[in-house]
Amino acid sequence: MKRFTKLQRVLISMIVVVIVFGCIMLGLRQNVMTNPGYSAWTYIKYGLIDYPMTSIGNAVSDLSNLWHVYDDNVYLNEQLAIQRSYQTMYQDEKNRNQELTDMLDMQGQLEDAMHINCTVLERPVQSWDETVTISAGKNKGIEENMLVSTSQGAVGLIEHVETATSTVRLLVSSKLHNNIAVEIPLDDGTSVEGVLQGYDTSRKAYIVNLFDHDASVTNGAQVATSGKGGNYPGGIYIGTVTDTVMNDDAIISTIYVRPVANMQSFNYVTVIGNKKS
CATH number where 99 lies: 2.40.10.340
- Specify if 148 maps to a domain: yes
Residue 10 within a domain: no
In a domain, 167, yes or no: yes
Do the domain assignments include residue 82? yes
238, burial (CB in 10 Å: exposed 0-12, middle 13-18, buried 19+): buried
Q: By residue range, what is the domain housing residue 75?
A: 71-277
Is 259 domain-assigned?
yes
**Which amino acid, 162?**
E
Would you state the pLDDT for residue 160? 94
Whether the predicted pLDDT of 277 surpasses 50: no
- Using CA atoms, how far apart are residues 23 and 17, in angstroms rounded to an integer? 10
Number of domains composing the chain: 1
Mean pLDDT value across the chain: 78
Pairing type for strands 180-185 and 205-210 reads unpaired
Between 63 and 263, name the one with better pLDDT: 263
**30 or 99: which carries more pLDDT confidence?**
99
Q: What is the pLDDT of residue 65?
A: 72
Domain-embedded: residue 64: no
Q: How many alpha carbons lie under 13 Å from residue 186 in its C-beta half-sphere? A: 13
**CB 266, CB 121: distance < 8 Å:** no
Reply yes or no on whether the pLDDT at 134 is more than 90.
yes
Phi, psi of 37 (to 5 degrees): -65, -20
The pLDDT of residue 202 is above 80: yes
Predicted confidence band of residue 249 (pLDDT cuts 50, 70, 90): low
Q: What is the pTM of this model?
A: 0.63
Q: Is residue 31 part of a domain?
A: no
The answer to whether residue 25 sits within a structural domain is no
Q: Which residues sit opposite 269 in a β-bridge?
A: 118
pLDDT of residue 241: 94
